A and B are shown apart, each in its own frame.
Chain A
Amino acid sequence: MFLINCPFCGEREQSEFKAGGEAHIERPKQPTELSDDEWAEFLFMRKNIKGVQFERWNHAHGCRKWFNIARDTSNDQIKAVYKMGEKPPVK
């Protein structure tokens, strides 16, 4: 079970958090302008990589804030934690 360093509360047990899938997928501003394929890209297509993956997490049983983490899926190490809207601090 991970220890996650919530940017607002500090280090807490994973059980306090909820995972929210891949990060940095922005909802299109003008969905009506998009073709079916473009909309499907946003709606369904997600990466599933071995290595550092950027993910959304929510401190559901804490401050309820959403934030991003960079996690290495091969060993579960969290390389960075950063706020919504910020750029990932690692590659």
Chain B
Amino acid sequence: MSKNLRFKSSKLVDETYRISFKFNNKTYYGYKGDTLASALLANDVHLVGRSFKYHRPRGIMTAGSEEPNAIIQLHDNTSRTEPNVRATEIEIYEGLVASSQNCWPSVNFDIGGINNILSPILPAGFYYKTFMWPKSFWEKYEYFIRKSAGLGKSPKEADPDIYEHKYIHCDVLIIGAGISGIMAAKMSAKNGLKTLLVDEKSFLGGSTIYDNSEFSKINNQITSSWLEKEINEISKLENLEIKTRTSVAAFHGYNFLLARENLTDHLPINQRENKIRHRLLKIRAKKVISATGAMERPLIFDNNDRPGILLSSAIKKYIDLYGVACGENNILFTNNDTAYETAMSLVQRGIKVNAIIDNREQIDSKLSYEVEKNNIRIFKGYTVVDTYGYKRINGLTIMELSKDGQKVIGKKIKLSCDSLGVSGGWTPAVHLFTQSGGKLKFREDDQVFIPNKYPSDQLSVGSCNGDLGLDEITINTVLSVKKFLNINNTDYKTFEIVTAINKSKRNIWLLPSNKILGKTKSFVDYQNDATAKDIKLALREGFRSIEHVKRYTTTGMGTDQGKLGNMHALGIISETAGTKMGEHGTTTFRPPYTPLTFGTIVGRNVGEFFDIIRRTPIHDWHVANNAKFENVGQWKRAWYYPNKNENMHQAVQRESKAARDCAGILDASTLGKIDIQGTDASEFLNRVYTNAWSKLAIGKCRYGLMLNEDGMVYDDGVTTRLDENHYIMTTTTGGAANVLGKLEDYLQTEWPELDVYLSSVTDHYATISVCGPHSKKIVSKVIPDLDFSDEKFPHMSFKNTKIGQIKCRVMRISFTGEQSYEINIQSNYGKSVWEKCMEAGKDFNITPYGTETMHLLRAEKGFIIVGQDTDATMTPIDLQMNWIVSKKKYDFIGKRSLYRSDTIKDNRKQLVGLLTENPEEVLEEGAQIVADIKKLPIEMLGHVTSSYYSPNLNKSIALGVVKGGKKMLGQKLIIPMENKNINVTVADPVFLDKKGERLNAKL
């Protein structure tokens, strides 16, 4: 290595512990404590990626989570590979493998770089304007754009790591362990409050921990030493829990926060086995103190994005904290005193600072005199107008600023450098504050937004509250925390602060140039390649609201949410539009503050824990008998039972035929069951169903249809009167919970006078339905004591009985149109009764059938399935079910809506049967139905809702909804498909056994 960029005795790095890692296939060395960024910089690697749109070479720009450029792909291993990792945040470990993103084929030779040359034709909104129209063009471009843009690769295999969620309740949560966070934590914990202190870094102390110059002192101690003592003290406090590497992602209302605790990402791979990688903390805090600090602003000038250009505070941090110099020949460019601290940190290590370019004409601070003493040239009232060097900065030109700062004057001066530190002052990190709903105010003096109104019990302290000087930070933190926590005693009495910084600043959002704006590339959002020119273009094109400008130019829309450049975007907008800052709104920062992995978000809820799985009591039998399952809500329902070599169609045809020819058996346990009791139970049913219930005799069953108040069908099912004041209602499988909720709602809020009690008993009973001409013989064998004669036990009635010693209910009800018995028994006996039925049915070819056959059989009978043949726009009249709507009842839910002007129209979509011209042709469910394909545009009349090949009718049958369908019986319609038109005839939806004779059929 030619350059010596690594310096000894830094704060964080352990020089005795060397670590090797790979970046873009090359092996490098760093030390324990390094971030990937600091280790790369120590190896003189600045070029780490390409920008998103123009593919310009980009380097490390910051030393923290605000990094816009150094976004890398971590790991080669496909299951752990992770895109969009910030090199400034990841700590290196033995075996780390990382590569650049946004470049193809490689970071050094990038095809997309041609966009940089084409950039005059790639202004803001270019992609919207060009590639989206005509649509066919987008399809051609998309592949190449996506490939060359590259957003990193997502892993193709399941994530092997473990994640978890944890709830935390505390009195006080403090976000950020910089100087004010540490002070707040000490005051809180020492006053008996249960306190949690979190910081996204691996160390405590924030930026003050490397504030180690002779010119910054608290109570006669160098500031960093003073803070170290404080940290030592708080780490022993009992009431205080400290979590490092923990980044708050979201600050919601009511002081509910989400934070990600990173537990293993800094460990060598072989030490991560069986450890939790990330923990998502769900924190409910009585009080929250934000001490999130401030971020240094860049400066906006032509070609401000070259590798080697960093924030000046980042250069200071790399040298002080990691012992890494970002270059051997540094220039600093600033509008305030911050860069002078950086200069001193470099000079003290013997690193060359070539010059400081300062926008200010007058500079009058102790620090600036110190800098001058070290023979560093200061260009006062100057600005950088251009930079040079393609993959690394090698020089720049500067010019003098006019008095008003609007123009550059005089001659260009060229300077050489290999690193440029920029400082545009500081922006309080108010992201989490605004996430929580906090409102900001603008402070004219130094052009910053600061917290104004707290939406919950919270406080901002330190530089995130706009206190940017050490004196303000210390004094105000103590005062405001004391008041906020209502405490009197703290260890902090008086502060004697020594600082060499002068707070003066010359803020110019967009620095003037000797070129016209159209010829410059002054980046505002580095990650999304949005320039000052783009923002001005957006304003010219009429955009005004910051939210619109943001979307049009994509400023602030990257994974960094534009943490660096948002202020400049606002500044340029207000300067151009001649309005006050904040008048066009401030941008809204949304969670997460920094990106979270999906693993962290889902925690342990993966695989079989992703959602609750409900299995019927007979589930094991279905598994043992080769059932295929389908998900119905959370339920696993047997779908069909293929014999050897059978496909689904063959199995369903066989099952359907057996159910009508001999006997079928269905596990109907998933149907919702609601137990209804009380002296007003009958009246209640009268009000919730469309038909009448008062006269239903004890021991009888009745089908009911339930509507919403808007008259649309909501649910259906059979309800049985068990006793005078006792009913059991069945609902659809998917509707069970909602129906119960709806009934409870009416009982509690509209009809509290009714004496009715509801209990969900869905899981308490197993339900076995035996159907077909042999069904009676089978159930008689299973329950020999019960009289199954049609006289004693007719269709739509029920009996209390016993199987062995176990009580059960048998209903004679049918969803297939066959004679059919439904046994309801305590769940844990379900499987044994099912097996008894199978045994009893052996001689009658009893055939288990699943939901697919059930659907086919009911379609043959024209029975609807709510949610398949209906959506939320079908009334019972539309379904041709007028018979179930009581004319006599004064009221029921939805009644009034059945004669609204809209619901009585006769061209509403109505349920009809459909028969294909070719009986072998089975329609596609969801296919459109039309009458005339010649007249354009073709009028869509409706769609197919259910369609099957019926083995019992030997033809294709379908149900569909068609505009005015009721009056179209016998009419020919067309189903236009991709490559043919299918002719159909409108038919009665009941295809089989119109008279219902099979309900009592005997063999």
Tell whether, in the assembled complex, residue B745 and residue A36 are in contact, meaning their CB atoms are under 8 Å apart.
no
B901 within 8 A of A: yes
| CB nearest to A42 among chain B residues | B709
Contact B745 A3 (CB under 8 A): no
Give the shortest distance, in Å, between B186 (CB) and chain A (any CB).
Answer: 28
Given A66-B748, A66-B749, A84-B749, are A3 and B254 neighbors across the interface (CB < 8 Å)? yes
**Alpha-carbon gap, A76 to B897, bound state (A):** 34
**Contact between chains at A1 and B252 (CB < 8 Å):** yes
**Could you say which of B254, B455, B710, B750 has the most chain A C-beta atoms within 10 Å of its C-beta?**
B254
Closest to A38 in B: B896
Smallest CB separation, B710 vs chain A (Å): 6
A31 to B437, CA, bound (A): 43
- Inter-chain contact A2/B253, CB cutoff 8 Å: yes
B750 engages A27 (CB within 8 Å): yes
Q: How far is the CA of A36 from the CA of B750 in the complex (A)?
A: 21
Contact of B253 among A31, A34, A39, A76 (CB under 8 A): A76
Docked-complex contact B437 and A75, CB < 8 angstroms: yes
Q: Please give, as numbers and ranges, the residues of chain B lying within 8 Å of A34 by CB-CB distance.
A: 896
Nearest chain A CB to B458 CB, angstrom units? 13
How far does the alpha carbon of A71 sit from the alpha carbon of B709 in the complex, in Å? 26
In the bound complex, residues from chain B placing their C-beta under 8 Å from that of A40 are 900
CB distance from B96 to the nearest CB of A (A): 37
With CB as the reference atom, state the residue of chain A lying closest to B896.
A31
Interface residues of A in 13-55 (CB under 8 A from B): 18, 20, 26-28, 30-32, 34, 36, 39-40, 42-43
> A66–B742 Cα gap in the complex (Å)?
11
A60 interface residue (CB < 8 Å to B): yes
Q: Which of B743-761 contact A (CB under 8 A)?
A: 744-745, 748-750, 752
User: Which A residues touch B890, using CB under 8 A?
Assistant: 32
- Classify the secondary structure of B's interface with A: mixed
A66 to chain B, nearest CB (A): 5
Interface size class of B (residues with CB under 8 A): 20 to 34
User: Cβ of A85 < 8 Å from any Cβ of B?
Assistant: yes
Interchain Cβ contacts within 8 Å, total number? 53
- B896 is contacted by which of A26, A39, A56 (Cβ under 8 Å)? A39
**Complex formed: what's the CA distance from A54 to B895 in Å?**
27
Q: How far is the CA of A85 from the CA of B253 in the complex (A)?
A: 29
- Tell yes or no: B926 within 8 A of A by CB: no
Write out the residue numbers on chain A whose beta carbons fall within 8 Å of the beta carbon of B749: 56, 66, 84
A residues less than 8 Å from B895 (CB atoms):
31-32
Q: Which residues of B contact A75 (CB under 8 A)?
A: 253, 437, 455
Contact partner of A76 (CB less than 8 A), chosen from B284, B437, B901, is: B437
Compute how far the CA of A56 lies from the CA of B750 in the bound complex, rounded to whole angstroms.
13
Q: Say yes or no: is B469 at the interface (Cβ < 8 Å to chain A).
A: no
The CA-CA distance from A2 to B284 in the complex, in Å, is: 10
* Contact status B897-A64, CB under 8 Å: no
- Chain B residue with Cβ nearest A2: B254
B891 engages A32 (CB within 8 Å): yes
For residue B589, CB closer than 8 A to chain A, the reply is: no
CA distance A56 to B748 in the complex (A): 12
For residue B889, give the distance in angstroms from its CB to the closest CB of chain A. 10
Chain B 260-297 near chain A by CB (<8 Å), digits 1 or 0: 00000000000000000000000010000000000000
Residues of A in contact with B (beta carbons under 8 Å apart): 1-3, 18, 20, 26-28, 30-32, 34, 36, 39-40, 42-43, 56, 58, 60, 64-66, 75-76, 84-85
Given contacts A2-B254, A3-B284, A34-B896, 12 further A-B contacts (CB under 8 A): A1-B253, A27-B709, A27-B750, A32-B891, A36-B900, A43-B709, A60-B741, A65-B748, A66-B748, A75-B437, A84-B749, A84-B752
